[in-house]
Chains A and B, each alone.
Chain A
Amino acid sequence: MPSFDSLMESHGVSRRGFMKFCAGVAATLGLSQAMVPKIADAAEQLVIGTTSGVLAPALWLEFASCTGCTESFASATTPDVATVILELISLNYSETLSAGAGWSLEEAMDQTINATKTVRNADGSTSTEPVGYILIIEGALMEGWNDNALVIGGEKSTDLIKKAAKNAVAIICAGDCAVDGGWQAASPNPAGATGVEPYLKKAKAAGQLDYDIPPIINVPCCPANPEHIIAMLVDYLLLNKLPQLNEYNMPSEIFGQTIHDNCPRRGHFENGEFVYEFGSEEESKGYCLYAMGCKGPQTYSNCPLVRWNRKVSWCIEAGAPCIGCAQANPNMADHGWVDLNSPFLNRFKHIGIGNFMFDPTYLAYGVGGLVALALIVHGFGMRAAGRTTGGADFETFRHYDLKHPDHPITDKPLAAEEASHLSADMQDEAIDEELKIAQPQLYDPKAAKKKGAAK
């Protein structure tokens, strides 16, 4: 039997590369680096274990998708340690990823689903139970035209998921489409796209399932970040546990903090230094993209830490605002990230810092003042609210543009009607502010400079 190292070697992976991988997984999972040897040990045990016959089967099913999650997962990193490990221990059943896969046929899927093992009970008797498998889903389910909008191998996608979920030990929904239908479910949802969790819950409520829905792990983003998927698989396969999940059944370690929380451009946000136009001087200075509609403050994901394509970059480093692709919502139909966040270049009224959403006009006088002051200076007319499941409102009137006609944020000239609404609105605000508290004095570098020059 080949040793673990020679097996890895045969896949072109060095010991050093392997240890680096274990460290990466620990980081993505928010584990301490002290866990790295444990992960390495577990991996080694499992891989060696498999050669004596302990398989942890996984199915990767593709429904209505763009294959982007597959590309993202495998193509960008093949053949690296992760793929090797996952192939060796589990991913033996996938359309395009896995070695010798070609899952497509129901016979093979049926066998995996219905595989049983004999268990010896305490009283010495034996019984059989399902072997179980991890079910990874990419793509949306389609309910249009009696579920005929997607037919795979002669079966509707909805029938397939009901069958495939049955004996799964866990279902990993990779990417927004599997979580809540993704862009396909965006208005007008032409083909009745829906996510796995909402569909299974509906089916269960309608009495169409004769089993309990297995634990579901939603891993949003479009496409799913390969580091996230790998972390989930390793978490389960190597450390033998399901990750802690939040109310959206997303792993808390990964989707517990906003992009804003970890953004390298955060300092500029707090300084009130913003980008107002793509490719501008402000952009080249790495200023904050909030004014370009960045959804980082509302979007929960550790993208700034895990980055993309072998960590070479990520959206904001490319001068583009976060468009909130991690904001899939399995709990509420028609509130997917596309509908919630488009037009992508419009700003939300509300801003989140850490786990709190707040109105900077009030907070300006308390903790976190700098942030709020910066926003007030820039005229961002915010209103208080919590993170609303129904989605935050967009700033309908462009206060900033009215105040700064010489360099407006948006390009469209203000319509007369809009301008009059806007100025009335601003007058109200001015009164509000006057009543509440005097506007604090702000440091104005230009004025300071002039002052200095006068001296």
Chain B
Amino acid sequence: MASKKIKMTSKTLSGKDLKAIQGSIGASQMTQGGQQAVIDPVNRIEGHLRIDMQVENGKVADAWVSGTLFRGMELVLENKEPTDAAYIAQRICGVCPVSHAHAACFAGERAYGIQIPNGARIIRNLVEGAQFLHSNILWFYNLNALDYVNPLDALKANPGDAVDLAKAAGTEVSDFKAVQSRLQNFADNGQLSIFSGNWFDSKDNDYALPPELNLIATAHYLEALEMQAVSSEISGIIGGKMPHIMSSVPGGTTFMPTEDKLADIKYRINRLHDWVQNTMVPDAYAIAPYYLKTAGTYGKGAGRYVAWGVFDTAGREMAGRYLPGGVLEDDLKTLSDPDETKITETTARAFYSDDGTPVNPRQGITQPDGSQAGMTSESEFGHREGKYTWTKAPRYGGKPYEATALSRMLVAYTRAATSNYDPTVSTNSAYQKGLASIKTNIDKMLAHLSKSAGKTLGVSALQSVLGRWAARAVETLYITERMQDWVDELIEAIREGDSSTFVKPNRYDGEGAGMWEAPRGALYHYEKVVGNKIQKYQIIIPSTWNVSPRDQSGVRGPLEQALIGVPVADLKKPLHALRTVHSFDPCVACAIHIAEPRSGQTFDTITTPFGGR
């Protein structure tokens, strides 16, 4: 049997010098009553994450999420100039540098008292959009899909049936036979340990796709590797290089791309749009029904959502962005505009030396104190009563909020209801058209899921692990549509003589916050500038919201909440818990690396085939 052969492959390797290219799930007995499952480090997220879970009666009873690296970006940026900050701050994260650059630019522009020209706005939207596509495609296929798709099983598929299935599902028909023989080639080649230590045999037992669908998804997984690289090429064409672009500075952009470059960009956007429309979205439709009863039921989390909004329209209001800002609570019933003054952060359970009083980031300070940081290594989880992470705990109106793509989609969906869009009128704004498109696509997805569920699912059904990835598929399509518009908008602007991309500062003293979105969620940068030197800098990244620790009152962060109640049948391979973590797409590299003490137990690998990532 194929899978057996592949396992032997990994043993061949082990026999030499790399016995186990081992991954990372361990389990140990819990000291008090329940059992303890530890995921460490969580693979297939950018960076590491340490999750401690207490399991009782087959479910997660409690969870702790912690981080073990402090880097100190906020402190490094002090005494630098706002332009320096735009270049340095993006080096906080190699996956979402563009978002950090833009949040830093916004903060600088507020401090300078300026607004960027129209051309710069569109160019920034394009480079930001390219980064979103890269991140969403990478996440959807290469980081998240293997929790649902079993490529080993694809070897059993009949390629002819796969063609029929792909046609029926409306997704792209690839050369499935070729993909299968490539898979077989991998399996036959004794060098490749690509499937070692997979979770396909988890006793949580929830790889539910038929072999043909596994084959289809595997074929598209390979295509996704190319497509996410094409997205990065767009970032490179505009930004000079990616990661860490050069083109966005406080005041606008460094240049107006030449016609030649615009043509290169347009071609790539069209290619991406077609692929997302014909492959990624149909794949989501095809796979989702198989997991409605599992991933569709757990992992809700805080149930409150923040989005600061991303992709400026000509009007430049946060609530009027192409992906609008907004705050949702009360089971999605109450929507309000983001209010910066309601944001607070506390260090009550994090390694900082201030007294832990929640304060607005404008008053916030960063005083790291790592004297207890060593505790996260092999300590007996004693840190649970005290400080246990480098992540501060952000709150909005005193409560924890989720900041993800789902937040953006839910906010946009709710706003669509009040946007006065009339399909019969041609004068609808781009904003109105955009919201209508999101609403249509979400309704379509919900109708599709309702059919499988046998009952009507409302938008609140998206508040689950499955909902998070469905939301990302909808968002990705939406961004490719808007990027097509933006290229044309930019060409039109140039044609009309509006090719300015940069304005000088009005002043060199001031303060300002940049509220924006990274692919992973709401992003906040604040700076206070005196004599063109930064006196104070504060950053709240999306993962800080999501992997937040408990606050001063002991209220858990969104991921900690989402994990509670998740079923765990296999302590060593808690598949459902892993899916829950992945659904937040924690970009902890943004804030911290997170890791875990060796538990001395057997470890297995979570793998990504094909040198994927």
Contacts and interface: CB of A to CB of B under 8 A. Distances in A.
Interface of A: 1-2, 6-7, 9-12, 50-51, 53, 55, 57, 62, 64-72, 74-79, 83-84, 87-88, 92-93, 95-108, 111-112, 115, 131, 142, 144-146, 148-155, 182-184, 186-188, 190-191, 193, 222-223, 277-280, 283-284, 308-310, 312-320, 323, 325, 338, 342-345, 411-412
13 contacts: A1-B189, A68-B93, A96-B43, A104-B23, A104-B41, A146-B370, A191-B71, A278-B254, A279-B253, A318-B246, A342-B88, A343-B81, A344-B81
Interface of B: 10, 13, 16-24, 40-41, 43-44, 46-48, 68-73, 75-76, 78-81, 83-84, 87-88, 91-95, 97, 117, 119-120, 134, 138, 181-182, 185-186, 188-197, 222, 225-226, 228-229, 232-233, 235-247, 249, 251-256, 258, 261, 264, 368-371, 373-374, 376-378, 500-502, 504-505, 508, 532, 589-590, 593, 595-598, 603, 605-613
Q: Is the interface of A mostly helix, strand, loop or mixed?
A: loop
A184 B75 CA distance: 10
A288 to B, nearest CB: 14
Leading 7 A-B pairs by shortest Cβ distance: A68-B94, A319-B255, A190-B72, A145-B370, A309-B236, A115-B17, A318-B240
A342 B89 CA distance: 13
B596 A154 contact: yes
Contact of A104 (B43, B597, B612): B43
B45 to A, nearest CB: 9
A283 B606 CA distance: 48
A6 B185 contact: yes
Most chain B Cβ neighbours within 10 Å, of A87, A188, A320: A320
A223 B94 contact: yes
A412 B504 CA distance: 10
Most chain A Cβ neighbours within 10 Å, of B71, B93, B606: B71
Given A102-B21, A342-B81, A149 B373 contact: yes
Contacts of A87: 192, 611
A411 B10 CA distance: 62
Contacts of B196: 100
A6 B288 CA distance: 35
B240 A278 contact: no
Contacts of B190: 51
A219 to B, nearest CB: 15
Contacts of B81: 342-345
Contacts of A145: 369-371, 373-374
Contact of B254 (A108, A142, A155, A283): A283
B240 A320 contact: yes
B613 A2 contact: no
Given A184-B76, A280-B502, A55 B17 contact: yes
Given A57-B17, A149-B370, A105 B23 contact: yes
Contacts of B508: 412
Given A67-B94, A319-B247, A190 B593 contact: no
A317 B80 CA distance: 25
A318 B19 CA distance: 47
Contact of A99 (B181, B192, B374, B598): B192
Given A149-B373, A223-B94, 4 more contacts: A79-B226, A144-B370, A188-B78, A309-B242
Most chain B Cβ neighbours within 10 Å, of A70, A103, A278, A315: A278
B96 to A, nearest CB: 10
A103 B76 CA distance: 31
Contact of A66 (B23, B236, B589): B589
